[in-house]
């Protein structure tokens, strides 16, 4: 299983800002190892964030995203104490979901 994401969510007025750090190799499939063999592609393909059973972020990623990606986004329609969950799925079928309470 993948390492937990580091997620922070903070509400200021009507706006909630979410910051996420994902531990993932994000291998493009274009590099070669020391023996000259290609390293297989292994990257996050989809990311989704939910708050109160409502999708607040939906993204499709590709191999051009760096290793251990960090991203942030803002949305409205939540308050302190609500829960935000973030889910990713990668090119090998692995996935991870973590959640955080909005501060």
Q: Please choose, from the candidates 98, 100, 102, the residue with its C-alpha nearest in 3D space to the C-alpha of residue 76.
A: 102
Span 61-82, pLDDT tens digits: 999 999 999 999 999 999 999 9
Q: Is residue 92 part of a domain?
A: yes
Q: Is residue 96 part of a domain?
A: yes
Q: What is the domain extent for residue 83? A: 6-101
Q: Is residue 23 part of a domain?
A: yes
pTM above 0.85, yes or no: yes
Span 30-48, pLDDT tens digits: 999 999 999 999 999 999 9
Report the number of distinct structural domains present in the chain: 1
CATH code of residue 52: 2.60.40.10
Q: Is residue 1 part of a domain?
A: no
Q: Is residue 90 part of a domain?
A: yes
List Cβ neighbours of 27 (8 Å cut-off, separation of 6 or more).
39, 40, 41, 42, 43, 63, 67
Q: Is residue 76 part of a domain?
A: yes
């Amino acid at each position: 299983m993948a390492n937990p994401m580091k997620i922070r969510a903070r509400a200021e007025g009507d706006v909630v800002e979410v910051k996420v750090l994902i531990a993932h190799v994000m291998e493009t499939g274009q590099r070669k190892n020391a023996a000259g063999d290609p390293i297989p592609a292994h990257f996050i393909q989809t990311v989704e964030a939910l708050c109160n059973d409502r999708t607040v972020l939906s993204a499709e990623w590709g191999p051009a995203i760096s290793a251990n990606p960090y991203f942030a986004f803002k949305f409205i329609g939540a308050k302190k104490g609500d829960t935000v969950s973030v889910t990713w799925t990668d090119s090998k079928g692995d996935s991870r979901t973590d959640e955080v309470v909005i501060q």
